[in-house]
Structure 1
Amino acid sequence: MRFQPIKQFNTILQQEYLEPTISWSIRVVLALNVPLIVFPLFSGFSYHIIWAAFSAYMLTLIDYRGSHYKKMLIQMVEAFLILIAAILGMNIGNSVALSVIGMLVIGVFAALIRNWSDYGSTIGVGVGFFYLFGISNPTSFTESLVYGKYILFGAVWAIAIIFLSFPFSASNPLRRSVATIWKRNTDYLDALIEQFLKPAAKADLLKITAKEIEIRSAVDKSIELFNRRSEDSRFQAEHYDQMIEIRKSAAYFGASIKLLHEELESIKNEPVLLQNQSIFYKTLSALSQASARLSIVIFTFRGEDLTMAKVRIKRFEIAAGILKKNLQHQELSEDHKLILNQFIVSLNQCQQFMENTIRLMDQKLSFKRSNYFENYKLSFNHFIAGLQPRVLFQVVREIFNFDSQQFKYALRVGLGLALSVFIFKFFKIDHGHWIALTLLIVIQPYYGATRKKGFERIIGTIAGILVGGTIMLLPIKHETFVVILIFISFFVAYYLRNNYKVGVFFVTIMLVVMMQLSKQGSWELIWWRVLSTLIGSALAIVISFAFWPIWEKQRFPALLNSSLNQNLFFLNQVILSYQKKLPPGITWHKSRRLSEAANNNLFACIQRMYEEPQAHQRQIDIHFAKVGSNIRISREITSLAFALEKETSGKLEQVLNEYMEAIQIIFYRFIQQQKEMDFKPVKTVIQNPVFEENEQFQAIQVDLEKIVFELEALKAFRG
């Protein structure tokens, strides 16, 4: 058994391949602390330097996982926005009315930016922070330009850090996104093993569904950052194209795991599973270990890791062979034979996708390393191509639709921030801008998330105040405080990604230390900070509850209809693909992605519903059951798609046409919320004698029956 600390250290290193939190934290440390150390060497320490440090800090916090080109462009945009916000704040800070109006506008703008993307939150908070920093330090226009100069110094330093890190992480973003998909596949497999093959494990449907959903999220995130090149692209990017193919194999591997999940569900608690539990466990464990090895080798590109991955895949092949041989010598019912045959088919598909990945990796290792840099050119050009007037017009139109949830959320944030600035300015609260800043950080589009984050921020702030205040009372030199700040800023960046409550704890300590560095620290000021946090968090929770709250029970019906609609479209595309009626270049794969994305949205709705007040959680268990049925429908259609790809006789064309005609009527009745549904026509189609010709047709028949069964379950849930 390995020594536990070494095992934990290895886990951290492997995680760093996929989520480079440590390297990101180091960049944040450099961004914040270099200005605090370098500037005083030339001009002595001044309050202006704090602005440069915070500027670099905010820009480096941008959590964008794509190319360096785009990240630098995003940083430039944020630098311009925070510069304008800071100068505006400093010039109107003496007027309560103008400060409140400015905060309303800035708040709405920041909230709209926040919802654009994962990194939009950092930009929105940065703009709001520097506006609040500005109205807290009102000054003349000339002096505000001096502060603006230091903001730009910090921005240049933050962009320089990204530029200088480019040679050390060439090709990492795309590889990391693909490796993450394999890691999510592994996590899902581990959850299946725990759910079905460990008797002592407690069933947790929410957890295992979340693991399934995470695969689609990882695939979508990778596609969002890195698209497939067009065939007429003028770039020769062999590395890029190979990674896109590896991503495709990873996505198909994930789809095959979902089919394994479906078959395990079918034999759960059955004697055949209980009697063969050990061999099932060894087989799926070997599959999980092979998947985990692939996630590592895709990022590291080391020959020894590739060898280990090949060994793991061979071990899985042996384990799967033993399972197949054992099952062949057992007396099983016809139903169990069919289910287990599909299970073996899905295992074989998993092996094919892993071997295909290994083959692509072998080819990729033989390419010239100079091609590593091409994917950044491609990513940048994809980004520029995305800035089309038509697309931008659609985004702007959606944002400023007064009935949209985005606009209501933005208005809620703007009104809350305006109220908090009024309290701060009217009552002349010392450093009262922390009220508005806390509200800006805590308030989320959904009430449950706001309440959770508010309580976490209160706990983290109070704990941080106690520790930070104790540090402030120690007889420590200025240089020692800088050293402390270096370590604390690392933990801030690291834990804000991994544990928000702990991250807030270190943020609070960092702010206390920075106040001490700027000679503004006192216990009175610290307790004002605690009070401001309490007021800001309370305001965020109250405003989220009182002003146009978004309750998930109201959103659920529309999301359910969207999921049903996408599943129907997916099924139709699969059948048209079998009949060779799809247009050239069109496959069912995109419709599967859309179907799973709709299921993701539906599941996320349920997750947020669990965080809402009890009064808004009516029928939550029934809603969750409906989500499960939709996800299983998507799984069955995927299974059907793989099965039909292997069927080349064309004998099922007519019966599939009849099936589609009958089942789409049921889907439409669900979407239109009609009560009367007749399942007899579609069940009659499924009993067509053509399905009895061979085992392959029987497996397809089972997939069609399971889709109907889940629709019947949905009808039963409706009561």
Structure 2
Amino acid sequence: MKKINSVILHRIVEKRYGRLKKRLDNEIIEPAWGWGFRVAISVILPTILSIYTGNHDFFWMIVAAETVSIVELKGSAGLRSRLLIAALSFSVLFTVIGSLVGLSPYLAVLLLFPVAFATGLMKNLGDWGLALALNIYLFYLIASNHPTHSLPELMERTAYVALGGLWAMAVGIFSFSFLPQGKPYRRTIAHIWLAVEQLVTLVANSWDTKAKRSSVRAIYLKEKDIRKAIDESIAQFSALYSSKQNQKNKTDQQLSYARRCASLASLQIISVAELSEKLFKEDLDPLFKAQIFSILKVLEQMANRLGFFFYTTKDEEFLLIQSRLKRLEQFLELLSKMPDATKQNSQDLVLHIRRFSRLVNISLETISGNKEGRIFQQYSLWQTLNILHPKHLIHNFRQFINFDNLTLKYALRMAIAAMLSYLIGVLYLPEHSYWVPLTTIIVTQPFFGATLKRGIERSIGTVAGVVVGGLLLMLPFAFAIRYMLIFFGAILMIYNLRKNYAWAAFFISLFLIGLMSTGDEVERSLILERIMATFIGGAISVVSGFVLFPSWDKKLLPNYLTQAIAANYHYFVHLFYDLAEESADQASWVQFKIAAESSNSNAYDSLNRYLTEPKYREKSQAPAYFTAITYNIRITRELNFYQDDKEAEDTQKRVDNRNTYSVIPLLTKIHSLFQQSIGLLEQRYKLDMQINWTNEKSIKSTLAPTEHQWQCVERLYLELKALNAGLNH
């Protein structure tokens, strides 16, 4: 009995240790703890000054330190510096504006409309745009709720805000100045490799006789995660690799190539998944299955260690990957001696595994041995001044004024809802009237389902947070507890911000309770006001999402589907046709690949939102949409597989080549099917993809598809034919 208990205890400890190790490993790649500590350090100093001096004006310094430090610092040092400067500038500017217009509460309510509308449009700038928007509407709301009545008072308040922002900016710059030059870029590539690892795990599980076979949907979701990681990397470091480009920064060029290798490596695993499905239909030796499973587990380990190698560049990680490469060769040699290895699908599967191995080797060679200086050492005086070059402002302004229909509706809805919330706050909660519109702005999302989910999570988190915070301050040593609420609340709200918004709202409330409590306890009226403001603001957000310019995916989904098919068409034309106006850019095929995969992802996300919309809305077309999106995803994959063969150039020796003329009839049929499918959707849903079908183009004379590529084209035709048939019915 004791032996059984010890075994159970050992398993529990081992499981908990594994979870802890995985969490710590993830923190190496996604430093949420570091971000949280940066916020806490920025906030705690002005908080201590406020408590010890008894000067309540330090409140403005605390808020400025929090909002500036809450901007997530990603990308190059230049981008990070510009984000901090922008956050500080917006904080000071809208403190002044809010303090002046707050003298007339109803004028402040009216002017909230353009402020909220502008912050809604900042969604076009991505995650960091939303963080900067916080500095705008938060300071406008708080300052207008506490207006100044004299110029000296305004100057003093502005000085406190500037000091708090400067302190947070100094902490932020210090946090990345001593990083190796390529580390921010390498972190984004590490994310890609770790996403590849998750995909390999699913594919490997299908070969495990003791595990349940992974579904097609599960594999595609992991494929989407890889696409998301690549998109985030490109958003932070936009230059795509091209052998013709002459980048001044050699490190960035090498890392751009390494990112390209990671993307192509994911394509090999998707090919392995496709071939695995074909092999499962054949009668295979259990030993052969076990050997494939072992090989895929080695690939999983390689992807995992590559993720950490790209982040740390430690020699021990390099040696671990080298040992896995040697083990892989040994396993492949054993596999080649098995009878089932002679099957065509088995040979193709091994081909893609070897391509994966080669891409791993190239990735190692690309960055190993590089000596990187610290970030602060890489910036001369001129480079530092160039951070504020007007071209960056012009680029961001162009992104900001992208008035697409969806973003415009979202910005208008948020502006009207925020203005109504502020009016209610001014009338019924004058002491903290900004709490109501603040909740409304934060909860409001572009789509109804996301708004409802965010509203529920914020309400639950806020109520729990203010109740727990109030109870904690009733305990002995409330003075010390107040510091702990502020410090750990700041850290844990950041840690949970992307993981679980309900917990983030809980810790935000703890932070605010510690910040706004008077003396050593919190007033009961403050708790009630906070809860009431949250419920009112959340309710207004949900109702406005339903009645004010709602964005229902019942109407959006056909457009997303048509855009996805059109993106595949442009990808297809680029690979097989010569266009008069198209420049010969070797990197451009990657751009078409990115556009096609992102469009597929948008269509898939739209379908999921469509299924969660209110039940009374018709869902009978959902299966047809799902089938069409599935076919379109497969079309993208076939185009990727075709180009992958061209890039690898390792199938020429074992297959017969075909000339250009033999493939012309099939390509013509594919082009016609694309035109029919897109034209049908345009006519049915009154859309316009602005495709010039009469544009002069001719099939590339250099085409010489291998047998493997020919099969890709044939499968492409069959998938497109099935898609067209489904759309017609």
- TM-score interval for Structure 1 and Structure 2 normalised by the shorter chain: 0.7 to 0.9
2:691 alignment partner in structure 1: none
Within the alignment, does 1:660 sit opposite 2:667 as a pair?
yes
Q: What is the distance in 2 between the residues matched to 1:219 and 1:368?
A: 23
Shift of 1:414: 0.5
What is aligned with 2:162?
Answer: 152
Counterparts of 1:424 and 1:533 in 2: how far apart (Å)? 11
What is the rounded CA distance, in whole Å, between the counterparts of 2:558 and 2:587 in structure 1?
Answer: 30
Corresponding letter in the other structure for 2:249: A
Q: 1:18 aligns with which of 2, 21, 29?
A: 29
Report the counterpart of residue 680 of structure 1 in structure 2.
none
Give the match for residue 333 of structure 1: none
Q: Deviations over 1:656-691 (max 9, x none)?
A: 333222211100110011799xxxxxxxxxxxxxxx
The alpha-carbon distance between structure 1 residues 265 and 233, as it changes in their structure 2 partners (threshold 3 A), is closer
Does the Cα contact within 8 Å between 1:52 and 1:154 map onto a contact in 2?
yes
Q: How does 1:64-463 map to 2 (within 5 A)?
A: 64-142=73-151, 143-171=153-181, 172-194=183-205, 197=208, 200-201=211-212, 204-226=215-237, 227-228=239-240, 237-268=249-280, 270-272=282-284, 276-328=288-340, 337-364=343-370, 367=371, 369=373, 374=378, 384=389, 387=392, 389=394, 394-395=398-399, 397-399=401-403, 404-463=405-464
Give the match's secondary structure for 1:464: helix
Aligned partners of 2:206 and 2:214 also within 8 Å: yes
Structure 1 residues 195 and 48: CA distance shift in structure 2, 3 A: farther
Deviation at 1:273, TM superposition (A): 8.4
* Separation of aligned partners in 2, 1:576 and 1:375: 44
Q: Is the 8 A contact 1:17 1:176 kept in 2?
A: no
Which letter maps to 2:392?
L
In the TM superposition, what whole-angstrom CA distance separates every residue of 1:20-59 from its partner, at most 9, and x where no partner exists?
A: 1111111011011121124555xx0322112211111111
Instruction: Return 310-319 or 342-351, whichever deviates more.
Output: 310-319
What is the alpha-carbon distance in structure 2 between the residues aligned to residue 69 and residue 312 of structure 1?
37
Question: Is the CA contact 1:28–1:57 (under 8 Å) kept in the aligned structure 2?
Answer: yes
Q: CA deviation at 1:443?
A: 0.4
Cα deviation, residue 214, structure 1: 1.7
The range that moved more, 617-626 or 450-459, is 617-626
* CA–CA separation in structure 2 for the residues paired with 1:289 and 1:378: 40
Q: % of aligned pairs identical?
A: 23
Paired position in structure 2 for 1:632? 634
Q: Which residue of 2 aligns with 1:673?
A: 680
Give distance in 2, aligned partners of 1:122 and 1:675: 37
The answer to whether the 8 A contact 2:658-2:707 is kept is: no
Q: By how many angstroms is 1:191 displaced?
A: 2.4
Contact 1:640 1:703 in 2 (8 A): yes
Instruction: Give the structure 2 partner of residue 470 of structure 1.
Output: 471
Q: How far off its partner does 1:413 sit?
A: 0.5
Contact 1:464 1:509 in 2 (8 A): yes
Between 1:227-236 and 1:595-604, the stretch displaced more is 227-236
Distance 1:195 1:229 in 2: 34
Q: Distance in 1 between matches of 2:274 and 2:387?
A: 37
Which consecutive unaligned segments of at least 5 residues does structure 1 have? 331-336, 677-693
Contact 2:560 2:603 in 1 (8 A): yes
Which letter maps to 1:260?
Answer: V
Q: Indicate if the aligned counterparts of 1:491 and 1:506 stay in contact, CA closer than 8 A.
A: yes
- Aligned-partner residue type, residue 116 of structure 1: L
| 2:689 paired residue number | none
| Matched AA of 2:261 | S
Q: Please tell me whether the aligned partners of residues 121 and 401 of structure 2 are also in contact (alpha carbons under 8 angstroms).
A: no
Aligned counterparts of 1:257 and 1:457: Cα–Cα separation in 2: 39
Q: 2:19 aligns with which of 5, 8, 12?
A: 8
Contact persistence 2:148–2:154 (CA under 8 A): yes
Report the more deviating stretch, 229-238 or 656-665: 229-238
Provide the rounded CA distance (Å) in 1 between the counterparts of 2:214 and 2:56: 56
Say if 1:67 and 1:273 are closer, same or farther in 2 by CA, change over 3 A: farther
Counterpart Cα distance in 2 of 1:13 and 1:380 = 37
**Greater displacement, 75-84 / 199-208:** 199-208
Residues 432-490 of structure 1, C-alpha deviations (whole Å, 9 max, x = no match): 32111111111011111111111111111121122111012224343442134212221
2:5 aligned partner: none
- The alignment status of 1:704 with 2:703, answered yes or no, reads no
Q: What is aligned with 1:53? A: 62
Shift of 1:158: 1.0
Task: Indicate the SS of the match to 2:455.
Answer: helix
Distance change >3 Å, CA 525–CA 480, structure 1 → 2: closer
Structure 1 residues 674 and 67, CA gap change in structure 2 (3 angstroms): closer
Alignment check: 8 A CA contact 2:284 2:340 kept: no
Question: Once the 2 structures are TM-superposed, how far is the Cα of residue 423 of structure 1 from its aligned partner?
Answer: 0.7
CA distance 1:368–1:111, shift in 2 (3 Å): closer
8 Å Cα contact 1:68-1:166 kept in structure 2? yes
Q: Distance in 2 between matches of 1:478 and 1:340?
A: 68
Q: Pick which of 467-476 and 404-413 moved more.
A: 467-476
Give the Cα separation in 2 of the matches to 1:675 and 1:123: 38
Cα 1:267–1:452, aligned 2, differ >3 Å: closer, same or farther?
A: farther
Q: Structure 1 392/75 Cα, relative in aligned 2: closer, same or farther at 3 Å? A: closer
1:300-328 Cα deviation digits (max 9, x unpaired): 11111110111122222333333343254
CA distance in 2, matches of 1:444, 1:430: 27
What is the alpha-carbon distance in structure 2 between the residues aligned to residue 553 and residue 102 of structure 1? 34
- How much has 1:705 moved relative to structure 2? 2.4
CA contact (8 A) 2:207 2:292 kept: no
In structure 2, the gaps of 5 or more residues are 1-10, 684-703
Residues 604, 383 of structure 1: CA spacing in aligned structure 2 closer, same or farther, 3 A cutoff? farther
Residue equivalent to 1:691: none
Structure 1 pair 539–517 and aligned structure 2 pair: CA distance change class (3 A): same
Q: CA deviation at 1:233?
A: 9.1
Alignment CA distance shift 1:547-1:236 (3 Å):
closer
Query: How far is the alpha carbon of 1:76 from its aligned partner?
Result: 1.6
Give the Cα–Cα distance (whole angstroms) in 2 for the partners of residues 237 and 84 of structure 1. 36
Closer, same or farther: CA 202–522 of 1 in aligned 2, 3 Å? farther
Query: What TM-score does the superposition give when structure 1 sets the normalisation length?
Result: 0.88
* CA distance in 2: counterparts of 1:24 and 1:702, whole angstroms: 49
SS of 1:598's equivalent? helix
How many pairs are equivalent? 684
Superposition deviation, residue 269 in structure 1: 5.1
CA–CA distance in structure 1, aligned partners of residues 262 and 155 of structure 2: 52
Aligned partner letter, 1:249: C
Amino acid of the structure 1 residue aligned with 2:359: F
Q: Larger deviation: 377-386 or 522-531?
A: 377-386
Q: 2:180 is paired with a residue of what secondary structure? A: coil
Shift of 1:582: 7.5
Structure 1 window deviating more from structure 2 (442-451 vs 83-92): it is: 83-92
* Alpha-carbon offset, residue 494 of structure 1: 1.0
Q: Secondary structure at the match of 2:212?
A: coil
Distance 1:178 1:156 in 2: 32
CA distance in 1, matches of 2:318, 2:634: 34
- Distance in 2 (alpha carbons) for counterparts of 1:324 and 1:220: 38
Deviation at 1:593, TM superposition (A): 2.0
Code of the aligned partner of 1:641:
Q
Cα distance, 1:270 vs structure 2: 4.4
CA RMSD of aligned residues (A): 3.1
What is the deviation of 1:149?
Answer: 1.1
